[in-house]
């Protein structure tokens, strides 16, 4: 049964709104993450209020049972549209959730101390939700408005990384206006990069809308496919290298960000040429996730330093996963930062921390602790 109000006598526990689902194409992935977190979060320490966001954007109080949100073979979990909506309301520095239903008076679901947004993609990971939470004056886990927005955008994150001295691969940006005004010029620019190309929506995730292009004739269709997710498209030269990832966790107080042991994603031969959606979520046998990655000690140390630098470059807070290509000639080229990385118990981010001495339940606890210590507003 959903929690409907604060349990009397236990009000001292911080109340955590676990927010998941959402409007992006990664809705189901977010629900699966929520299943993992609801299963593992320390309920002796935190009073958990599960809030689902339906695909139409409606917020409602949902079932706290992790089984309702876990991935079953044939059906993807989804937050249903409900009769009762929930809104965040804030007054004098304290926030509460209020339920509204047809024909009933609004009723309070009690105060909220911190929001744990388990949302991926636009309207969750991109600063919009973070802005809403700032406006409502409620603390939340993870990156703030700017870091979220920059980390969501594969164009601007490259601009910021390059300015911070990190190496990014060759790329071209195709805005909506440029594409509609002069597609030939866009194709010429993109086609001048070294093939294969990776054509991507600027702001998506889970490999959705990405096409690997080996022939210039495929480029227009790949751009249109990316544009189904985002009117802004990023075209990148394909980089040959091992995919190495590092989990970054904000330091306590004035400490530097903490970095995990690096992990590696290796797509097995056959079937998948790159780490596409199927390889990520459907065909588990297609990839090997390993941590620690088998790297020389100096490269391991260097990639951790670069991951910390990438986190600082975007103004990261809370958590981020930073992904690199490690090339044959020893370069570490940054691919992307994810400010809300995959966060199921078997996802890379929690796995890398588990292998680095911080198990899942403690990781969740640490993230909430960091968020509770951090006020909203300019900081």
Q: Which residues contact ligand ADP (rule: CB under 6 A)?
A: 169, 198, 200, 204-207, 210, 236, 238-239, 243, 274-275, 323, 335-336
**Residue of minimal CB distance from ligand ADP?**
275
Whichever of 205 and 262 has its CB closer to ligand ADP, that residue is 205
CB of residue 204 to ligand ADP, shortest distance in Å? 6
CB of residue 294 to ligand ADP, shortest distance in Å? 18
- The three-state DSSP-derived secondary structure of the chain is CCCCCCCCCCCCCCEEEEEEECCCCCHHHHHHHHHHHHHHCCCCCCEEEEEEECCCCCEEECCCCHHHCCCCCCCCCCCCCCCCEEEEEEECCEEEEEEECCCCCCEEEEEECEEEECCCCCCCCCCHHHHHHHHCCCEECCCCHHHHHHHHCCCHHHHHHHHCCCCECCEEEECHHHHHHCHHHHHHHHHCCCCCEEEEECCCCCCCCCEEECCHHHHHHHHHHHHCCCCCEEEEECCCEEEEEEEEECCCCCCCCEECCCEEEEECCCCCCCCCHHHHHHCHHHEEEECCCCCCHHHHHHHHHHHHHHHHHCCCCCEEEEEEEEECCCCEEEEEEECCCCCCCCCHHHHHHHHCCCCHHHHHHHHHHHHHHCCCCCC
CB of residue 338 to ligand ADP, shortest distance in Å? 7
Question: What tokens were used for 357?
Answer: 């001495």
Whichever of 15 and 232 has its CB closer to ligand ADP, that residue is 232
Whichever of 124 and 205 has its CB closer to ligand ADP, that residue is 205
Whichever of 52 and 117 has its CB closer to ligand ADP, that residue is 117
CB of residue 170 to ligand ADP, shortest distance in Å? 9
Whichever of 58 and 207 has its CB closer to ligand ADP, that residue is 207
Q: 52: buried, middle or exposed (CB in 10 Å: 19+, 13-18, 0-12)? A: buried
Whichever of 113 and 243 has its CB closer to ligand ADP, that residue is 243
Whichever of 140 and 324 has its CB closer to ligand ADP, that residue is 324
CB of residue 276 to ligand ADP, shortest distance in Å? 7
CB of residue 16 to ligand ADP, shortest distance in Å? 27
Rounded alpha-carbon distances, angstroms, from residue 189 to 5, 37, 183: 57, 44, 10
CB of residue 223 to ligand ADP, shortest distance in Å? 15
CB of residue 346 to ligand ADP, shortest distance in Å? 17
Cβ within 8 Å of residue 73, ≥6 positions away: none
Whichever of 156 and 275 has its CB closer to ligand ADP, that residue is 275
CB of residue 92 to ligand ADP, shortest distance in Å? 40
Whichever of 111 and 227 has its CB closer to ligand ADP, that residue is 227
């Amino acid at each position: 049964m959903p929690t409907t109000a604060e349990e009397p006598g236990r009000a001292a526990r911080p109340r955590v709104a676990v927010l998941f689902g959402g409007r992006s194409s990664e809705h189901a992935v977010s629900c699966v993450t929520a299943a993992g977190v609801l299963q593992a979060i320390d309920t002796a320490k935190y009073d958990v209020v599960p809030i689902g966001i339906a695909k139409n954007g409606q917020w409602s109080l949902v079932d706290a049972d992790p089984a309702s949100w876990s991935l079953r073979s044939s059906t993807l979990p989804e937050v249903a549209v409900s009769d009762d909506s929930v809104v965040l309301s804030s007054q004098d520095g304290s926030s509460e959730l209020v339920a509204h239903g047809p024909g009933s008076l609004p009723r309070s679901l009690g105060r909220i101390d911190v929001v744990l947004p388990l949302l991926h993609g636009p309207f969750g990971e991109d600063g919009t939700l973070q802005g809403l939470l700032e406006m409502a004056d409620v603390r939340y886990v993870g990156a703030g408005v700017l870091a979220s927005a920059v980390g969501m955008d594969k164009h601007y994150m490259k601009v910021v990384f390059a300015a911070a001295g990190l190496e990014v691969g060759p790329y071209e940006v195709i805005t909506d206006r440029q594409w509609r005004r002069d597609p030939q010029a866009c194709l010429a620019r993109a086609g001048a990069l070294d093939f294969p190309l990776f054509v991507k929506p600027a702001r998506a995730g889970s490999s959705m809308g990405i096409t690997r292009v080996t022939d210039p004739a495929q480029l227009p269709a790949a751009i249109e496919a990316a544009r189904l997710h985002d009117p802004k498209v990023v075209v990148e030269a394909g980089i040959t290298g091992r995919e190495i990832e590092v989990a970054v966790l904000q330091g306590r107080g004035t400490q530097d960000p903490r970095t995990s042991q690096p992990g590696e994603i290796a797509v097995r031969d056959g079937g998948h040429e790159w780490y596409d959606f199927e390889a990520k979520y459907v065909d588990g046998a297609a990839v090997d996730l390993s941590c620690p990655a088998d790297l020389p000690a100096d490269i391991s140390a260097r990639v951790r330093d670069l991951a910390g630098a990438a986190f600082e470059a975007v103004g990261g807070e809370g958590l981020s996963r930073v992904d690199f290509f490690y090339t044959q000639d020893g370069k570490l080229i940054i691919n992307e930062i994810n400010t809300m990385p995959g966060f199921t118990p078997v996802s890379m981010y929690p796995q890398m921390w588990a292998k680095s001495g911080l198990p899942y339940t403690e990781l969740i606890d640490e993230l909430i602790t960091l968020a509770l210590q951090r006020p909203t507003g300019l900081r």
